[in-house]
Amino acid sequence: MRVIVAASGGVAALKTPSLLRRLAGAGHEVRAAATDDALHFVTKLSLAVAAGGEVFDRAAWFRPDGEARHLSWARWADVLVVAPATADALSSAATARADDVISALIVAGTPRVVWVPAMNTAMWHHPLVQENVRTLRAVGHHVLEPADGLLAAKGEGSGVGRMPEPEEIALHLAGLLGPRDLAGRRVLVSAGPTREPLDPVRYLSNPSSGKMGFAVAEAARDRGAGVTLVTGPVTLADPVGIATVRVERAEEMLAALSAHFDATDLVVMSAAVADWQAAEIASEKKAKGGERQTLELVRTPDILLTLAPRKRQQVVVGFAMETHQGVERAADKARRKQLDFILLNYPTREGSAFGGDDNQVTFVTPEGRVDELPRMSKRAVAEQILDRALGIWASRAEHAE
Ligand code: C5P
């Protein structure tokens, strides 16, 4: 989707770059626009950096080559998001003034418009502002409700009028603009590492960031699925609109996934489960003592193997991180663990390392069919997983006929 994010002149314009980055991260092409007043609150440079390109403001309106930005950008865009939207911006658009970049883009014919109002409570509730909101809705614009919270101006305290956080706005937009092809489906995702304690202060783990699993959970949510995310210890916050269960050990992850498995349509097991746990967890911190230490370890439960016998309607997806013989090993894992497909990646390759925002994966089926994808964002990989799950459901439906 091609999205113009336009800021008008409120304190919340500070959050506009963060919204731009979120939308770009969700796979949209983004551009930034700003009114003169917006540029008192956010710099043109921070908007340009977040958008990855030139900002449309009054100074960049008409170009020496004859291009008129409001016309060319309105033709380019699928949607214009005004965030923050002041009472003044709503009024200019409702009366088709076209004397600022936002109302000009609208009058020039931007196909869809989403407003994210941010203003003082009394202003938002004023009948004239509400009349403008009705006018805009009547011509098909989406006007989001402002949040209830702390207001920026001195001495104003809290109330309705605060701009929702960029994460909330991105969520609304996804619901509004994206395909809803997973509506009615239940998706279960695991993410992050597990942490296996050795004693009260030490543990075995790995550097999984959880980003891949969180991206799958968020993409599924945005496409309309009901999502449960079971995650090991990661620094990422619980995503909005997703039932998030936090666990530490492999055994706890198994228990949490097992509780949801039977009622799930799609299981994506992206967690990097620790393979070993202490045979006995010391109840007190072990002293350093000596130059060598022997630890007795036992295997953690294999979660996918444990759940495999209960597989019915579920499409089950795993991950395999291999350093060599990737395809053979991945296909073997897919067969043993009864997976519909597995994503193979190589930790040593550029763009596949733990913790990054990108991934380079190869889809492998139990039969050994291979589809190697280029490096892309984890969100884009997540969309690929969901597309393939939809493909499997479609072919099952075909065979059932
Ligand atoms: O560790 P391995 O290469 O076998 O991982 C393949 C898949 O199995 C991954 O999806 C991983 O999340 C899952 N797994 C599991 N339980 C384990 C280890 C891995 O479900 N104990």
Domains and CATH numbers, the chain: 2-177 (3.40.50.1950), 186-279+293-400 (3.40.50.10300)
**Ligand 1 lined by 332 (C-beta under 6 Å):** no
Counting from 1 in the atom list of ligand 1, the atom nearest the Cα of 307 is 20
* Rounded Cα distance, 287 and 291, in Å: 12
Which of 254, 273, 302, 305 to probe ligand 1 with, by most ligand atoms within 8 A of CB?
273
* Rounded Cα distance, 31 and 70, in Å: 12
* Rounded Cα distance, 277 and 286, in Å: 16
How many Cα atoms within 13 Å fall on the side-chain side of residue 140? Answer: 8
**Ligand 1 lined by 4 (C-beta under 6 Å):** no
Q: Whose CA is nearest to atom 5 of ligand 1?
A: 320
Instruction: Look at phi and psi of residue 29 and say left if phi exceeds 0, alpha if psi is from -120 to 50, else beta.
Output: beta
* Rounded Cα distance, 266 and 373, in Å: 21
Q: Does residue 113 contact residue 142 with C-beta atoms inside 8 Å?
A: yes
Helix (H) or strand (E) run with residue 39 in it: helix 38-41
Counting from 1 in the atom list of ligand 1, the atom nearest the Cα of 299 is 21
Question: What residues are annotated to the active site?
Answer: 206
Q: Does residue 314 contact residue 267 with C-beta atoms inside 8 Å?
A: yes
Burial class (CB in 10 A: 0-12, 13-18, 19+), 10: buried
* Rounded Cα distance, 315 and 387, in Å: 12
**Ligand 1 lined by 277 (C-beta under 6 Å):** no
Helix (H) or strand (E) run with residue 132 in it: helix 127-138
How confident is the model at residue 305, as a pLDDT?
97
Number of H helices, E strands in the chain: 14, 21
Q: Does residue 116 contact residue 90 with C-beta atoms inside 8 Å?
A: no
Smallest CA-to-CA distance from 35 within 55, 8, 10, 14 is with: 8
Q: Does residue 35 contact residue 101 with C-beta atoms inside 8 Å?
A: yes
Q: Residue 48 C-alpha to ligand 1 middle, in angstroms?
A: 42
**Ligand 1 lined by 320 (C-beta under 6 Å):** yes
Per-residue pLDDT tens listing for the chain (401 residues): 899 999 999 999 999 999 999 999 988 999 999 999 999 999 999 999 999 999 999 999 999 999 999 999 999 999 999 999 999 999 999 999 999 999 999 999 998 999 999 999 999 999 999 999 999 998 889 899 898 888 887 788 888 889 989 988 998 888 787 788 999 999 999 999 999 999 999 999 999 999 999 999 999 998 989 999 999 999 998 887 899 999 999 999 999 999 999 999 999 999 999 999 999 999 998 877 788 988 999 999 999 999 999 999 999 999 999 888 889 999 999 999 999 999 999 877 766 667 788 899 999 999 999 999 999 889 889 999 999 999 999 999 998 87
Counting from 1 in the atom list of ligand 1, the atom nearest the Cα of 272 is 12
Q: Residue 273 C-alpha to ligand 1 middle, in angstroms?
A: 6
Helix (H, G, I), strand (E, B) or coil at 386: helix
User: Which position has the token pair 């089926």?
Assistant: 365
* Rounded Cα distance, 124 and 95, in Å: 17
Alpha-carbon 5 to chain mean position: 18
- CB count within 10 Å of CB 194 equals 29
Whether pTM > 0.85 for this model: the answer is: no
How confident is the model at residue 353, as a pLDDT?
64
**Ligand 1 lined by 317 (C-beta under 6 Å):** no
